[in-house]
A = this chain, B = another copy of it.
């Protein structure tokens, strides 16, 4: 179908909805939600977050040169929304949303204890772009919740149930469709365990069309698939 050409619109989705915390000169902390945020460099590890000049957090980051980004999860969705709507000039959002400050290692601003990952950041540049100023910052410490370390000591972020922001809505993450590099990875010969699993799945799929428990079986198959997929954390960029 032919394209429709529209005027410029903010339609780059899905994006993260991160909690941005910062402190004032007296050490009082505030937290807001930002969706105009992302990774901008791998080495050194750098992020950017764009914030309107009018926001209280803009003032705090401009003065302190520091902030913390905390990832949001399904359990934090309501808090993420609230912290994006309310101003820290009017309300203590940590208290209102029952969030707990998590001490940082290097910067003064705390992270959010309920978040699986807090990135401590130091501003290196500020770009005045228009409605928003972009704070470009170096990540100086990565503070993680050890409950997401698996039995082999790998950080299993999938278990944290992160959320994404897309066109006005907060979304849970659904099925994993593949891991980085899967489109060019050759299938490995299956081990005994995987062969048995494949046989079970094949038997199960015969009844798929008739089955009333299709949803459950699909979820099980998905989880089994996830486990057998090679966990290689590379990033396309």
Tell me the A residues contacting B by CB distance below 8 Å.
1-18, 33-48, 50-52, 69, 71, 74, 77-82, 84-86, 102-103, 105, 111, 117-119, 125, 127, 129-132, 134, 136, 138-147, 149, 155, 157-158, 162-184, 212-216, 219, 231-237
Give the number of copies in the complex: 2
Q: Can you list 16 residue pairs at the A/B interface with Cβ under 8 Å?
A: A2-B146, A3-B102, A3-B103, A3-B145, A4-B145, A12-B16, A14-B162, A36-B42, A37-B38, A38-B38, A48-B48, A48-B134, A78-B178, A85-B180, A168-B179, A171-B177
Known: A8-B44, A142-B5, A158-B166. A35 touches B178 (CB 8 A): no
Closest to A182 in B: B81
The CA-CA distance from A67 to B22 in the complex, in Å, is 35
**Which listed residue, B8, B39, B167, touches A157 by the CB 8 Å rule?**
B167
On chain B, the residues within 8 Å of A166 by CB distance are: 157-158, 162, 173
Known: A8-B44, A129-B136, A212-B213. A181 touches B85 (CB 8 A): yes
- Kindly provide the distance from the CB of A191 to the nearest chain B CB, expressed in whole angstroms: 22
On chain B, the residues within 8 Å of A149 by CB distance are: 4
